[in-house]
Amino acid sequence: MPVEAASSGPRDLLWLSALLAGLGPQARAARAALAGGEGPEARARTCIDGGSPALIAVHAPGRRTWEAHVMEPDAGDGERRSWHGMRWAPGGKHQALHRTLYRSRRGDAAVAARHAAAAHGPQALEHFERFHARLGPSGLIYSVGTDPEDGGGPRVAWQLDRHVDAAALVEGLLDLADWRQAVAAIGAVQGIDFVRGAGPWSISIAPAAPQRGVRIGSTRWARAVDDAEKRRRFAAWIGGLGGDGAYAAGLYQLLDEARPQGSLESIGRAVEVDLAAGSVIAARAYLAVPRAPHPRPPASAGLSERSELCLG
């Protein structure tokens, strides 16, 4: 059943993106499991979402998998936002995700992170405290969440102060060569060579699963103009790291073409890479869903509920 001929069900970008990921008839169930994504703009805008009510993540390596996050309204004081997410693979396997984002240094985030780490034993708490002692004075914990891929334990992320010398700061936590690998990988998708201290940077760990390594992220990607070159670099980056470059290109095009005319909000918002055993082992990028979408499939894409997307 072609998308335009569908007689029922949601006709929004999250649903179309699930079709693009190859979910077929499961796209409706995946979208329904992630209720929301059309609400009013939250007061606590972050540099990751740019005020968008929903984000879609693209991963490498591996086959295309639909992962989307819906932004919930602010907590009462406007200092916190919750992401509720779903990761859904063709075939039906799916996982629920959750993150709370913090905006201040009042200490709530550190308390939440410490409590979450301690719940998984003294070694997890020690791992968290080691990183927090080094990163906390020069940044803030901006995210505490859970992801089944981290073994059910928490994932804690710090945002470093914009002008801090990040390479010097992580000395003792990371090998300098590993840090340079991460910077080079992120620079490849952003199309720039980073200068000393160029931020903002984020660093996250899974305290209960130290074998998962360290995740390095940057939101400088959001500053790049959304043009054909940005989309080309993104697709090549995902494909070069073992992901589905055609899916990455098609998804970016779907979201970009749905953006209201004249909008300056960036679709490509943030990128992250995972470091473990001295290598970049994984990457992900977050794309913003436009606030006032007018969903239509890219001209090059044949969307169907009965088959995986053909990107042509």
Q: Which of 55-59, 83-87, 240-244 has the lowest mean pLDDT?
A: 83-87
Domain parsing of the chain, residue ranges: 3-288
Residue 87 or residue 163, greater confidence: 87
The pLDDT-based confidence of 307 (bands split at 50, 70, 90) is very low
- According to DSSP H, which parts of 21-67 are helical? 26-33
Residue 280 has pLDDT above 70, yes or no: yes
The whole-number average pLDDT for the span 157-183 is: 91
The pLDDT-based confidence of 75 (bands split at 50, 70, 90) is low
The whole-number average pLDDT for the span 272-299 is: 79
Residue 64 has pLDDT above 60, yes or no: yes
How far is residue 295's CA from residue 147's CA, in Å, rounded to a whole number?
A: 29
Residue 169 has pLDDT above 80, yes or no: yes
The whole-number average pLDDT for the span 235-254 is: 97
* Residue 48, burial from CB neighbour count under 10 angstroms (0-12, 13-18, 19+): buried
Question: E strands along the chain, which residues?
Answer: 54-60, 66-71, 80-88, 94-102, 139-146, 154-160, 201-205, 214-218, 268-276, 279-288
| β-strand pairing of 214-218 with 80-88 | unpaired
Residue 191 CB coordination number (10 Å)? 14
- According to DSSP H, which parts of 203-299 are helical? 228-240, 245-257
Helix (H, G, I), strand (E, B) or coil at 284: strand
Residue 26 has pLDDT above 90, yes or no: yes
Residue 43: per-residue pLDDT: 47
The pLDDT-based confidence of 77 (bands split at 50, 70, 90) is low
The pLDDT-based confidence of 188 (bands split at 50, 70, 90) is very high
